[in-house]
Amino acid sequence: MLLAQPLNIAVMAHLHHPIASPFPGGLEMHTALLAEELSARGHMVTLFAKGGSRTSARLIPMLDAGFTFTRHPEGAAREAQTRLLDEAQRTTLELINEGNFDVVINNSLSALPHLTPPAQPMITILHTPPLPRVTAALDAQIHNRQAGHRVVSVSAANARQWRHHLRDIDVVHNGIRLAEWRVGPGVDRHPDIAVWAGRITPEKGLHVAIEAAALAGMRIQFAGPISDQDYFNRTIAPLLSESVEHVGHLNHTKLAAFLGSGTVFIASPLWAEPFGLTTVEAMACGTPVAALPCGAMDEIIDARGGVVAAGFSAADLARAVEQSRTLNTSQVRASAERFSVEAMITRYEQHLGELVGHGVLANTDMMAS
């Protein structure tokens, strides 16, 4: 499905981190893909993001690259950080209103686009469980989705958490560039190594993955940024050994090779995981997944791609590791092919076209979901 004519699109990113590889998380990767893939389809895309972002779209930096986002600051530091982020997003909205945009994609995590929405039609993408400032804004506005505002969630599991605040939410699963995540010739897959990747924070459950790997008799290597230094120092660092290794924060090329090097990928979310991009990336590399049953895990992992644990303990996860490691690599890859970036962008084009009243041209080859 292709739009009958190109659109002038404003993309609002969140401003915690640059939109650049190596990505701190799935939201940053999603924002990068949206901007680049929509541009590749002929749309005029402007990305409003933090300085240091890299994109093929037009970039307008809204916050200095030297700004360092702090997780869970307290007192005056929290208020100062919130004010800075709000002011930058307020300026973003002003620039959008002054521009000649057809439509806005809100990937910002900010309450401001709901409190003072842009004049243009807008689609908001829900990448997280409900955020207090956003839900307060929605409730204060008695927000029912209007003709000029659509809301999309990256999974049905995540959409269910927002339905108390939003009645009408569509689901568009995240997609990846499958060609960048594949089972390559001569992959050196280690039979006794499990791999893990993500932000190293308590809710990602790395400590549970480490315990599960040990119970399954496997070594574990993990990649990702240390987003919570205190958690890493207190909980993860004491576990490091020849059997538990941090390989660093990897760019996409290195991450693909890393994900393809293990016998099994462990997904260990201890929160309502909204999607789980690394899970799909691992499957695309032919690496079966063993996952805790949190959030969208059982929505995106089918019987070809992995095993969702029956319970939430490390022992439950270890049993899933033992079961999933025997799955067929080709079938695991086939499972991931449900989540192509082409299918994702086509769905977003459909929403954007309907919002601005532009027609679409059907192309059934691109309708895989």
Q: What is the pLDDT of residue 362?
A: 45
Q: What is the pLDDT of residue 358?
A: 61
Task: Between 73 and 109, name the one with better pLDDT.
Answer: 109
Predicted confidence band of residue 146 (pLDDT cuts 50, 70, 90): low
Helices 26-40 & 277-284 angle (0-180, nearest 10)? 70
Closest CA to 208 of 58, 314, 92: 314
Whether 95 has a pLDDT exceeding 60, the answer reads yes
Give the whole-number percent of the chain exceeding pLDDT 70. 93
Q: What is the pLDDT of residue 349?
A: 96
Q: What is the pLDDT of residue 313?
A: 98
Task: Between 360 and 11, name the one with better pLDDT.
Answer: 11
For range 38-43, the mean pLDDT: 96
Q: What is the pLDDT of residue 219?
A: 98
Q: Which residues have CB under 8 Å from 35's CB, separation 6+?
A: 11, 19, 45, 47, 55, 56, 57
Q: What is the pLDDT of residue 367?
A: 35
Closest CA to 122 of 147, 143, 142: 147
Domains of the chain: 2-175+340-366 (3.40.50.2000), 178-336 (3.40.50.2000)
Q: What is the pLDDT of residue 145?
A: 47
Task: Between 4 and 181, name the one with better pLDDT.
Answer: 181
Q: Among 71-75, 193-197, 241-245, 278-282, name the one with the lowest average pLDDT.
A: 71-75
* End-to-end Cα, the chain, rounded Å: 12
Q: What is the pLDDT of residue 187?
A: 57
Whether 344 has a pLDDT exceeding 70, the answer reads yes
Predicted confidence band of residue 147 (pLDDT cuts 50, 70, 90): low
Task: Give kind and range of the element (H or E) at residue 95.
Answer: helix 75-98
Cβ atoms of residues 203 and 184 within 8 Å = no
Q: What is the pLDDT of residue 10?
A: 98
For range 183-202, the mean pLDDT: 83
Predicted confidence band of residue 364 (pLDDT cuts 50, 70, 90): very low
Predicted confidence band of residue 300 (pLDDT cuts 50, 70, 90): very high
Angstrom distances, CA of residue 253 to CA of 21, 47, 76, 256, 356: 10, 24, 40, 5, 37
Give the whole-number percent of the chain exceeding pLDDT 90. 83
Whether 123 has a pLDDT exceeding 90, the answer reads yes
| Mean pLDDT of the chain, nearest integer | 92
Q: What is the pLDDT of residue 184?
A: 64
Q: What is the pLDDT of residue 144?
A: 44
Q: What is the pLDDT of residue 25?
A: 87
How far apart are the C-alpha atoms of 291 and 286, rounded to whole Å? 16
